[in-house]
Amino acid sequence: MSGKRLFITPNILTRTRRKPIADDDRHYEVVTGFEFTDIDTAEIKLPGGYQPEAMPAPVSVESKFGKYSCNVKMEGDKLVYHRSIEYYSGRYPAAEYNNLVKFWQQVYKSDRNKVVLVKKDTP
């Protein structure tokens, strides 16, 4: 809360912790040895009298390493957040490492997007 604004990070279930650092001097191939799919939906009931002031735009990222999407919308007095990620296994040349970093940085940033709600003035 800040004044009459309420800030919510709607991804309450599966925020990624991965935030690799770019490496332009990488010499070894990139090996991603596991695959997974994770799909989450969270509904957050809001206190009365709030309306959205800022909502994050839907995000969709697709690369050779995986696919990620998320969106948030208002449904009555609830925020509904949907997130989907598919991560692929594989072997990639060292030159692809920074593309993997870019993929995870986009996921990391999107997982932390905030919704800003403002309290309606009541006469």
- pLDDT bracket for residue 123 (50, 70, 90): low
* pLDDT value, residue 122: 62
Higher pLDDT, 77 or 85: 85
User: How far is 2 from 37, CA to CA, in rounded Å?
Assistant: 36
DSSP track, 81-99: EEEEEEE--EEE-GGGHHH
User: How far is 93 from 76, CA to CA, in rounded Å?
Assistant: 48
* pLDDT value, residue 47: 86
Q: Are the C-beta atoms of 20 and 96 separated by less than 8 Å?
A: no
Q: What's the average model confidence in pLDDT over 9-22?
A: 90
Q: Which amino acid is at 29?
A: E
Residue 19 has pLDDT above 90, yes or no: no
> What average pLDDT does the structure give for the chain?
93
User: How far is 25 from 28, CA to CA, in rounded Å?
Assistant: 9
At residue 19's C-alpha, the angle toward residues 17 and 21, to 5°, is 155
CATH number corresponding to 12-48+57-111: 2.60.120.1130
Sorted by where each begins, the domain ranges of the chain are 12-48+57-111
| Bridge partner list, 87 | 36, 66
What digits encode the pLDDT tens for the residues 23-77?
999 999 999 988 999 999 999 999 888 899 999 999 999 999 999 999 999 998 8
